[in-house]
Structure 1
Amino acid sequence: MQNDLFQPQADTYLTIAEPTNATFRDKGSKFLAYAYPIQTETEVKSYLEGLKKQYYDATHHCYAYLLGRNGENWRANDDGEPNHTAGTPILNQIRSQNLTQVLVVVVRYYGGTKLGVSGLIHAYKTVTALALEKAQVVERVVRTPFAFHFDYLQMNDIMRLVKEYDLPILAQTFENTCFIKLGVRLKDEVSVRRKLEDLGIETL
């Protein structure tokens, strides 16, 4: 994965486009890494449960994830491995790629030979890096939903605003009194709100 030229703007973040996976072996132990783009902690639970069911006979299911534009919501889990030998190396690899909204789960099958603390850290770090290297890095925009009612005669003004700021329409109903929900970029919030106020429109 090459993302040296990717630097997120004030209202964007970097994540991966699609799930990827990789395998690493060391002294008989097998490590299977699965990387997923995620939006919520609920997805973490779902992916983790799926892998535990698929690899029910594995020794460990370790993971780490980051959520939030700046990765402010995170967790690292060693699942029985020595403290900070699994979850932390996984987490650090995600952070080192400047990514967020990402979950990586590493499934380990013990091969009969202990790897030691440094060996475990190396294995979890390596297999996570291999999975992330396969991923396509994409830039996502942070958007705030703006919902409001407006008169049908104001339709042209609203559509002009949608076009000017490239606002995705999240929901809409067009009747005598219309309703619309738009996704507004963080950097455009003040400008869009001001233009709506000029039209006599208040967001819900």
Structure 2
Amino acid sequence: MVQQTLLGIERYEEEIKKSRFIALAAPIESAAQALAFFQSQGAPEATHNCWAYKIGQEYRFNDDGEPGGTAGRPILQAIEGQQCDRVAVLVIRWFGGVKLGTGGLVRAYGGVAAQCLRLAEKRDLIPMAELSCHCGFSDMALVQSRFEQFSVQVQAESFDAQGVQWTLSLPTDQQASFITAFTNMTRGQGVCAPVVAESE
């Protein structure tokens, strides 16, 4: 299943047993960005500002005074349930005088978070691969003319006496066919190989 992130900030509001809930969801690229979003959008006068974010395998959530496991985790589960990634969700609650109980809180926080994400405009997160490629000046224009076909983006470009050195990114599922095409276009003279990520 392709993971998705949001195109922009989405807002959803619902009243549940006299408590007012506002969910705000935003696309993020880092934990720092998520925390800055919660800081800027939170309502200090509200009873609770509960949140969760997910970036790949990294996630965090916060119950902000609600009973443990009744707010932050259901928000995180809503993010995962909607197949979202690189997303932060803040749910603000103004207590209305009627206690919801733990099951009610789980349903309320998870429900408004999920509904907010359902309404948001999304885009697919396409897995990308990085390639390091080198070819002679005589083949450069031909290779460049095929970039669009393979959705190639140039991350870096430098020149030496022999030709051009590129760092390219492209959808992972295009990697093998692009390397084959590159080898054919440069008649085996060019070099094109995946960039190996340094282990942590």
What range describes the TM-score normalised by the shorter chain of this pair?
Answer: 0.7 to 0.9
Q: Normalising by the residue count of structure 1, what TM-score does the alignment of the two structures yield? A: 0.78
Aligned residues: 189
Secondary structure of residue in 1 paired with 2:191? coil
- The answer on whether the counterparts of 2:82 and 2:114 sit within 8 Å (CA) in structure 1 is no
Q: Distance in 2 between matches of 1:108 and 1:49?
A: 15
- The answer on whether the counterparts of 2:132 and 2:167 sit within 8 Å (CA) in structure 1 is yes
Structure 2 residue runs without a partner (length 5+): 196-200
- The answer on whether the counterparts of 1:152 and 1:175 sit within 8 Å (CA) in structure 2 is no
- The answer on whether the counterparts of 1:38 and 1:44 sit within 8 Å (CA) in structure 2 is yes
Instruction: Read off the aligned partner of 1:43 and give its amino acid letter.
Output: Q
Deviation at 1:106, TM superposition (A): 0.7
Greater relative contact order (CA < 8 Å, ≥ 6 in sequence):
1
Q: Which residue pairs with 2:5 in the alignment?
A: 15
Q: Which residue pairs with 2:35 in the alignment?
A: 45
Instruction: Read off the aligned partner of 2:120 and give its amino acid letter.
Output: A
Structure 1 residue runs without a partner (length 5+): 1-6
Secondary structure of residue in 2 paired with 1:141? coil
CA distance change for structure 1 residues 161 and 104 in 2, over 3 Å: closer, same or farther? same
Matched, 1:84 2:69: yes
1:1-204 equivalence runs, <5 A: 7-8=1-2, 13-52=3-42, 55-68=43-56, 72-172=57-157, 177-193=163-179, 198-201=188-191
Instruction: Read off the aligned partner of 1:142 and give its amino acid letter.
Output: P
Question: Which protein is bigger by CA-based radius of gyration?
Answer: 2
- The answer on whether the counterparts of 2:52 and 2:88 sit within 8 Å (CA) in structure 1 is yes
Q: Which residue pairs with 1:4 in the alignment?
A: none
Query: More displaced, 150-159 or 169-178?
Result: 169-178
Deviation at 1:84, TM superposition (A): 1.0
| Percent of pairs with identical residues | 29
